[in-house]
Amino acid sequence: MLPKSQQNVFKHICSCCDWTQKFQRCFQMRRACKSNASELSIHKVLIANRGEVACRIIRTAKRMGIKTVAVYSVADSQAAHVQLADERVLIGPSSAIKSYLSIPNIMEAVRKTGADAVHPGYGFLSENSEFATVLESENVVFIGPSADVISRMGDKLESKRTALAAGVNVIPGFDGIVTDADHCIHIARAIEYPVMIKAAAGGGGKGMRVARNDLEVREVFLLCIQEAISSFGDNRMLVERYIDNPRHIEIQILGDRHGHVIHLNERECSIQRRNQKVIEEAPSVLLDEGKREDMGKQAVAFCKQLGYFSVGTVEFLMDRAKQFYFLEMNTRLQVEHPVTECITGIDLIEEMFRVANGFQLRMTQADVKINGWAIESRVYAEDPYRNFGLPCTGRIYKYQEPQHLLGVRCDSGVNEGSKINMHYDPLISKLICHANTREDAIQKSIEALDSYIIRGISHNIPILRDILSQPTFHEGSISANYLPDTYPEGFKGLSLKERDRSQLVAVAAALFVANELRSRSLINIPNFQIRVEEQDSWHLFINFDQEQLHVDVCQTNGQFRVDIAGSATFSIDKNDMKLSELIINPTVDGKTRVFQLLAKSAGGEYQIIYKGNLYTLYILSRKASKYLRLMPKKLHEDQVNEVRAPMSGLVKSVLCSEGDWVMKGQELLVIEAMKMQNFLVAPSYAHVKDVIVDVGDTVRNGETLIRLDC
């Protein structure tokens, strides 16, 4: 049996599957790695990344007996990946361009630590051919494919030509460089609208926009170029026909340096916002064995045409007729790789190390199976009520993952006290749930999200949980347009059914009474002068969702009996009302529910998280309600006509001046945050009274940028 400290390393990687079986498999893998230790050419790896992916790589490297080096910026000096690694090196200021994207700074860290390999993770320099070339020139192993392949696949034009040569289905489009907006309009008319305008370099949804007419081309072409330059330093654009309402399905590839290439089945990544994935699953509910085999064969043929080795992903779009078309090749580890690991039992990070060491694949295509179903929910520091998730910044003061649930895995890079800042992607963690069936994986995901505690910053758990609860998701009726189709007016939060509303009110009332009883017990101390009479019943006034409810609560035989006038009656065990716990699990109607008590105040305000959403209830006793009527009413402040920052970020351009008259919808300025370009527009026809910010200023969420006279 392994020591407890080593068991904990395994437990993190294996927590999405049955612990006993998975542990035994990992123990065997560890022995295999030990037996090959003398053959390993990699002894120390530097992880040229941050956050959850850096933590993920470090854990597998340690299990394989490889020393690890973390690099970090000033903003990440206390980050989780820095604490987890064996060594750590400061590589620059907070800006990614001056730290994680700085090849000279990272190479200096490689030399300083004597690392003989670099794992790039995803994002940053993971698909930078220059970086791979520099490493090769200094005899440092790049944990990934060759620089030549990265360069070819980083150019979407070249990747499309490679796909054609390999006999892979491709989307009709323009095979050349788009020079300007007029040229783009000419091409779009020839291809026929709608079209997708996207950066020739990079990926991750950056520099991509849909245009359905000439006017939209002019509007988005400049925006795409700005995002492409900011994200990839490359302003080349291309145009292809936009497949409306597609499914986004990708094939995981694994190849070695000896010409062997296999695929590890598919992932469904259709649910997206701003061309970035939100929920992924494996396998896809859409594919049967025949279609899976066809897509897998084309992906393998494509990679063999390239001479590809390491892990990679061939991405496809599938239309309503189930015709699939090549989208792009990602020459790196994907964010959503854990769902593939769960259903195949293959540690992709370990395979990357083995391929980089020159080992042959230890499995054939026939060895790759599908075991159950896995769903990944990307938990972001975002406000889901604003454009399906605008990034937020702040510090996490309370953090607890739902690791107590069997079949749940959290790949995260944060701890309590971690700060989410404007310089990097706002990903908090990836919540992966694995079960025998898709329906079980969905229910497990919902339960895990209900038990996930994140305090101090806004996050997107409300919309993640709501998506997983939608009938259309359960049916598998999803597409890249799922969010706007499901929430045409934007996400407004969960609308509780009547029974759920009553349960929430009943639990809130029970919490209030439990708090009252605790306060009385603290006052009634032996030999203390003040005594409070015992009380067995309460009449409460609860304001919830602009409705005042009369609620009676009595305690008897260890139970709170809650009677909501004209609605329902519930019995709740007093012992379930644990006010000191972050999660409260009362049994209501014979079923255990999950509530989080976020805050309570002396004024009777209770903030409770239920089914992923935050609800505020105001609870008053009869006496407090009587006194409240005597309080003077607060006067409403006059509305101020201001343009405020929707998120923290950097002012990239100011498009108006003091004294200008602007039309409704006219662009006033551009803010960049986390590599996203955000245009702020005039809310109505107005006179610009004051422009408060300048280009280059850093602004905070909610900060006033421009004042208007309407």
Pairing relationship of beta strands 44-47 and 537-544 according to DSSP bridges:
unpaired
Cα–Cα distance measured from residue 671 to residue 678, given in angstroms and rounded to the nearest whole number? 5
Strand 613-621: give its sheet, edge to edge. 568-573, 559-564, 547-556, 537-544, 613-621, 605-610, 595-600, 583-584
Cα–Cα distance for residue pair 222/328, rounded to 1 Å = 23
B/e letters for 620-659, b = 16+ CB within 10 Å, e = fewer, are: bbeeebeeeeeeeeeeeeeeebebebbbbbbbbebebeee
Helix (H, G, I), strand (E, B) or coil at 191: helix
Query: Helices 51-63 & 348-356, crossing angle to 10 degrees?
Result: 70
Strand, coil or helix: what is 371? coil
Q: How many CA atoms lie within 13 A of 9 on its CB side?
A: 19
139 C-beta neighbours (distance < 10 Å), count:
7
Interstrand relation of 686-691 and 698-699 (parallel, antiparallel or unpaired): unpaired
Amino acid letter, 375: I
CA atoms lying within 13 Å on the CB side of residue 174: 24
Q: Where are the beta strands (DSSP E) in 152-236?
A: 195-199, 208-211
Cα–Cα distance for residue pair 546/115, rounded to 1 Å = 62
**Pairwise CA distance, residues 93 & 233, whole Å:** 19
Residue with tokens 């145009």: 239
Give CA–CA dist 40/67, Å, rounded: 12
CB-based contacts of 526, cutoff 8 Å, min separation 6? none
Could you give the 3-state DSSP secondary structure of residue 62?
Answer: helix
If you ran DSSP here, which 8-state letter would residue 365 be given? G
Catalytic residue among 240, 250, 328, 350: 328
The answer to whether 280 is a known catalytic residue is no
Phi, psi of 290 (to 5 degrees): -65, -45
DSSP bridge pairs for 698: 650
Residue 61 structure tokens: 């490297």
Q: Sign of torsion, CA 91 93 99 104?
A: negative
Q: Which residues is 554 bridged to in the sheet? A: 537, 561
Q: Which two tokens stand for residue 525?
A: 């101390």
User: 317: phi > 0 → left, psi -120 to 50 → alpha, else beta; which?
Assistant: beta
Tokens of 59: 């854990």
User: Coil, strand or helix: which one is 599?
Assistant: strand
Three-class HEC string of 106-160: HHHHHHHHCCCEEECCCCCCCCCHHHHHHHHHCCCEECCCCHHHHHHHHCHHHHH
The catalytic residue positions are 328
